[in-house]
Structure 1
Amino acid sequence: MPLSTSNWSDHLLLKLVNVAVFVFLFGSGIYSSLDGHGAGKDTFFTPASYVFYTWSLIDLLLLGYIIYQFVDSSHDAVHGVGWRLALVGVLNAIYLHVFVTGHYLVAFIFALLVASTVSTVYWSLSAHYPAKDLFDAVFVHLPFSLWHAWSLVTVFISGFAAFTHAGHGHHPSLVVKVLVVLSLAFLSVTAWGYAFRSRKGDVAGAAVLAWTLFGIYDHQHNHLIKYFALAAFIVSLFAVVKSLYFTFVKGDGAISLGDDERAPLVA
């Protein structure tokens, strides 16, 4: 599909604000990585450090969105996201700052605000602005599908940081064990929710949760938490496989190649 830029100036103020906020958001992400404490307080829910590179992938895709918004074919998507990208960018930057500086209760509150705002974008795109082509799927729907799932993960990470004691070097209480197990089960069930939200599901959201569950298994030392996380990962992995199968394979077993078949890779 040829990329036309004839209407690049439509909603110009919104697009320029998005550019400015992206610089702010991306700068905050770099800060949290360079700080050396990107994972914040180490709790019994904390995943391995490599899981936090999910931020980097989301930032990279959002950079694609920032560029893509100046292309004519992005008009509907820009309208669907609207000013909420700027809002969630500011909220997320505040969240990252207070989290890496150890203000975990405040971080938990902002994690909830980020998750709720990202959810409005996610469901708006899903319900009213389906991906029209590969560019829409990759640069609009994919980052918000990933971010929707990741924002849920950050709510749990922030909640455990705010309301429980540190992980390594301590023994979890029975209450903490129960809370962690329930949280892991919730993420696993939610991964299946992504997989079955439509016939083809949302493989991106399910994959983020599966990746997080594996990271928790890899990082934690308590046997109950570690191996329950492994079981939850395996269960959620089936959700990812289900979504991949129905995304790329037609009912007759043929591999789907058309844009209409590729678009549902994300919500």
Structure 2
Amino acid sequence: MYKLINIFSYIYLLISSLIIAGEVGGGAEEEVYVMPAGYAFSIWGIIYLLLLGLFIRQFFANEQEEAFLRKSGWWLAVSMVLSGTAVIVSTTLSILFIAGTLLTLCVLYTKTRKELSISWMLSVPITVYLGWISVATIVDAFVVMEANGITELFGIEQLTWAVLMLSIGGLIALVFYIVHKDVMFPLVFIWGYIAIWIKQDVFLIQLVTGTVIILLAGVITFKNHRIS
């Protein structure tokens, strides 16, 4: 049953994103300090293909992969429904669905992380999905602020918040990689931060994103070099 629910939820995600919203991933219209270059949203095409591979693989899963799928329960399906809904509701409401998607994917990743011997066709889609939703949550939060005319929050202006959130996001990606040794998560952040660095011409934003990119790439290269 959960395999069929996954398929139906995936179809809903595609219909809502590609037909109803009419966009691959839903690039936002508001121009904010954390908005990446338009090409960055093409990663949704990769996510759709990876999820398709996961749902094909689930019908040919071995015993350990079945255990992985059982542990995933309804979490993956719920995350896709929330993600699909986020692109068809109002800008202000979208942040709630994006945040919900992030939360469900975090639970999903935590529940299934111990299954280390499964096919990459099952593990990589979830990690890439989680990575991009993490970046998208940061972006969407600022889009909602801009759409509602909020130029500062708790006495802190939007640029300062952008610097803080981008820094925290980079730190999360670094810690995630060190703890879980899952390289796909920081690679997605590198993808998103390069697009932000290209799009934005504000010095502080370029400084933060450039630093995070160099730091993540350096740590990944160093750890892989030690392993080899």
Deviations 1:53-106 (A, max 9, x none): 2211111111011111111413112112122222111111101222xxxx2221
* Matching of residue 155 in structure 1 with residue 154 in structure 2: no
After TM superposition, give the deviation of residue 155 of structure 1 in Å. Answer: 1.2
The residue aligned with 1:28 is 16
Amino acid at match of 2:58: Q
Q: Which moved more, 1:108-117 or 1:20-29?
A: 20-29
Question: Alignment RMSD, CA only?
Answer: 2.4
Q: Within 1, Cα distance between the matches of 2:72 and 2:55? A: 12
Q: Cα distance 1:51–1:67, how it changes in 2: closer, same or farther (>3 A)?
A: same
1:218 aligns with 2:198: yes
Distance 1:80 1:118 in 2: 13
Partner of 1:64: 53
Q: Give the Cα–Cα distance (whole angstroms) in 2 for the partners of residues 38 and 32 of structure 1.
A: 11
Shift, 1:195, TM fit: 2.0
Q: Please tell me the residue identity of whatever aligns with 1:109.
A: L
- Matched letter for residue 69 of structure 1: Q
Summarize the alignment of residues 1-267 of structure 1 with structure 2, pairs less than 5 Å apart: 13-31=1-19, 34-35=22-23, 38-40=26-28, 41-73=30-62, 74-98=65-89, 103-127=90-114, 130-133=115-118, 136=119, 138-164=120-146, 175-198=157-180, 201-242=181-222, 244-245=224-225, 249=227, 253=228
TM-superposition CA deviations, 1:98-143 (whole Å, max 9, x none): 2xxxx2221111111100001111011113xx2324xx2x221111
Structure 1 range deviating more: 233-242 or 77-86: 233-242
User: How far off is 1:31 after superposition?
Assistant: 3.6
Unmatched 5+ stretches in structure 1: 1-12, 167-173, 254-267
1:34 Cα deviation after fit: 4.0
Query: What amino acid does structure 2 have at the position aligned with 1:80?
Result: K
Distance 1:240 1:32, change over 3 A: farther
Distance in 2 (CA, whole Å) between partners of 1:43 and 1:141 is 32
- Count of residue correspondences: 220
- TM-score normalised according to structure 2 size: 0.87
Q: Distance in 2 between matches of 1:94 and 1:46?
A: 21
Shift of 1:28: 2.8
CA contact (8 A) 2:131 2:188 kept: yes
Give the percent of matched residue pairs that are identical in Structure 1 and Structure 2.
Answer: 22
* Cα gap change, 1:237 to 1:228, in 2 (>3 Å): same
Cα distance between partner residues in 2 of 1:23 and 1:242 = 40
C-alpha distance in 2 between matches for 1:57 and 1:165: 28
TM (norm. structure 1) is: 0.75
Deviates more, 1:32-41 or 1:148-157: 32-41
Do 1:194 and 1:203's aligned partners in 2 also have CA atoms closer than 8 Å?
no
CA contact (8 A) 2:18 2:24 kept: no
Which AA in structure 1 matches 2:109? Answer: Y
User: In structure 2, do the counterparts of structure 1 residues 235 and 92 end up closer, same or farther at CA, with 3 Å as the change threshold?
Assistant: same
Question: Over residues 224-253 of structure 1, what are the superposed CA-to-partner deviations in whole Å (9 max), with x where a residue is unaligned?
Answer: 22233222221222233245446xx3xxx4
